[in-house]
Amino acid sequence: MKTLVSVIISTKNEERFIEPSLKSIKNQTYPNIEIIVSDACSNDNTVKIARKYADRVIVKSTNIPEGLNLGSLFSKGEILIFGKADTLFSPYWIENSVEILQSDDNIVAVYGSIKSLEKDFKTKILEKFWNILIFVSSMLNFHQPTGENILAVKRKIFFKIGKYDKSLVACEDKDIVTRLRKKGKVRYIPKNVSYTSFRRFKKTGYIKLSTWWIINYIYFTISKKNILKNYSRE
């Protein structure tokens, strides 16, 4: 029997994206997967749709890292994969990740590249920009993916480092990868593509939101705190 993999998805009012996301997990080439959806009290059809595909749906008011932690407590897999409801997995994503994680005891986590679900020119430019940053950070052995990359982690390591920091409304992905790197190797797998929505950039403004993320990233790197106290997930 193949190693069990738990895929944990944090949701909040994602009825538009949740079904394609969960279908992309169901259609993986890797056979032994459980799906856990941790929903932050959606008031649309997210939970109803999730129950059609997920092995377990948990409903509790949480932020993103808190929701992912909650899902992990109900998981059984030796490998945990954390994703977002507006992100689709490429078909070999889990199979590739398991193979690499099991190839070396020192590798504790893997992540991949991103492509936008939207096809307009501005979004494609932003997609290329983020992938360049991700690639450069991996070459420097710095490894700072965004939450859209999807992250696969060995279970024992995830719990050993204390899970996600639930006090963070943003940069929780940067924080956890920084802590994971202290326990072993983190690997970037370019062919592991996650297809994600850049809708928040279109809604807020490409330059405005990108600038906010860069400023917040720098501020967090220095202070280990976020500038904002709340972050809209929609």
pLDDT > 90? residue 193: yes
Domain limits, the chain: 5-223
Q: Determine the angle formed by the axes of helices 206-223 and 121-139, rounding to 10 degrees.
A: 20
Tell me the average pLDDT across 92-107. 97
- pLDDT value at residue 232: 55
- pLDDT value at residue 204: 74
Q: What is the mean pLDDT of the chain?
A: 89
Q: Which of 75, 126, 99 is nearest to 189 (CA)?
A: 99
pTM exceeding the 0.85 threshold for the entire prediction: yes
Tell me the average pLDDT across 144-173. 87
Query: Would you identify the CATH topology of the domain 5-223?
Result: Spore Coat Polysaccharide Biosynthesis Protein SpsA; Chain A (3.90.550)
Tell me the two tokens of residue 34.
């459980």
- pLDDT value at residue 56: 98
Percentage of the chain modeled with pLDDT above 70: 94
Tell me the average pLDDT across 147-162. 91
Please give the Cα distance from 130 to 153 (Å, whole number). Answer: 22
Tell me the two tokens of residue 215.
């400023």
Summarize pLDDT for 37-54 with one digit per residue, the tens. Answer: 999 999 999 999 999 999
For 113, which DSSP code?
A: E
β strands within 30-177, DSSP E? 33-39, 56-59, 79-84, 87-89, 107-116, 151-154
Percentage of the chain modeled with pLDDT above 90: 63
Tell me the average pLDDT across 175-200. 91
Q: How confident is the model at residue 143 (pLDDT cuts 50, 70, 90)?
A: confident
For 117, which DSSP code?
A: S
pLDDT > 90? residue 233: no
